[in-house]
Amino acid sequence: MRSAPTILHLDMDAFFASVEQASKPSLRGKAVVVGGLGPRGVVATASYEARIFGVHSAMPMAQARRRAPNAAYLVPRFALYRSISEQVMRLLKALSPLVEPLSLDEAFVDLEAGGAAWDERSARLAGAKLRADIRAVTGLTGSVGLAASKMLAKIASEQAKPDGLVLIEPGTERALLGPLPVRTLPGVGPATGDHLRRAGIHTVDELAEAGEDELVRLLGRAHGHALFAMALARDERPVVAERETKSVSVEDTYDVDIHDRLRVGTEVRRLADRCVSRLRAAGLSGRTIVLKVRRYDFSTLTRSETLRGPTDDPAVVREAAARLLDSVDTTGGVRLLGVGVSGLADYTQEDLFAQAGGQVDDLPHEETEAAPAPEPETPAERRWPAGHDVRHAVHGPGWVQGSGLGRVTVRFETPDSEPGRVKTFRVDDPALQPAEPLPLVSRRPGETEGAGADGGVRAEGG
């Protein structure tokens, strides 16, 4: 382990909910819950104001509504979250070439590898500057942990929440870890935690006192050795800059089981197109098409087909997914569908129409299907998800507070305005249209996009 706290862990604070609060002045300081709003929806993120009521991520949305009935419940805007995450990740990469993203809102950084820090003082300065730059570029807050290992840096960032910085000085690790519950350590989930508790082991100190042989007996060789080392604050894992993407996939869970076979087929084609969009955005292609079907009884079936070469063509992926669907019995109803592509490559093979079971002269038909949606698709485009952006021809930009019974309620405000007024319209009002999100932070005249408050750290785009 290192002699200086030069591994940094960043965790953005209640990321999705914080983005929504930053973009909607009327929700600042209020309880906000982001997630699926249907009967089977789950919480993706809850603001700190909502957590006071016991709402947390992965909780069923129905339970969240019972605990916090007056919270704002919003549908996620993942494209916006990804764009802000890219801004944050660029700030991290300005510190070091070794950045290990764990999710959209969380990453490790090896400050020593980038020359950004070499001792306690320089590490603390780098962490403080990063937090200031994140606020300047995105308007959001992040918590930073600094330590001599990845495990301790993550523990430190958790202690720093929200909107703080904690540095664990080398030599103090054992004293810090000792009284903490065993669930603090990576790899100790609910099942392992229960197993250890039944053995009388509740804290990290008790884990270390149990000894390596006892932990191997309780948990198996690999897990026992690893947990004993972590209980002694030993963690030699390096920060890994690149994690190979193994697959790209999308899936939807439906509020009501789908029984109509034609509807199931339509959903699979729609998911295939979304999957290809993600594939192309990542500059990738793939050879293996995967279909996932969860049926009415919760049984989950997976089917796959491997093509002759990699593709990122929506026609090819749609055909393969449709063929895979032919082999699945959906008569009892479907509650979840997913389409994925694996066997990824960074190139495509141009003549793959035939390999998906069709012929090259099917292309005009496929291009017709990919054309602008025909009239029957219009109602789907006029749905108004809660929290999503709109623009009215007269009243300007706003966001959807809710919709139903042929009406949609909109609050007209922007990230840099005062809390706005509320108006209600017909769902088919031609003056009201979906809109792209506005930037959370307005740039000053002449300021380059992504420049920090001092102009020194840049995160272009997003």
Residues labelled catalytic:
106
Residue 235 is encoded by which pair of tokens? 């963690």
Beta strands at 7-12 and 106-110: parallel, antiparallel or unpaired: antiparallel
Contacts of 259 (CB under 8 A, 6+ apart): 330, 331, 332, 333, 334
Distance spanning both ends of the chain, measured CA to CA? 36
Amino acid type, 168? I
CB burial of 138-169 (b: ≥16 within 10 Å; e: otherwise) equals: bbbbbbbbbbbbbbbbbbbbebbbeebbbbbe
Amino acid type, 326? D
What is the CB neighbour count within 10 angstroms for residue 382? Answer: 14
- Rounded to whole angstroms, the Cα distance separating 254 from 244 reads 31
- Rounded to whole angstroms, the Cα distance separating 277 from 289 reads 14
In order of 119, 177, 254, 344, 455, the CA distances from 174 in angstroms are 20, 5, 48, 43, 40
Amino acid type, 29? G
Residue 459 is encoded by which pair of tokens? 């995160």
CA dihedral in degrees (162, 167, 173, 177; nearest 10)? -10
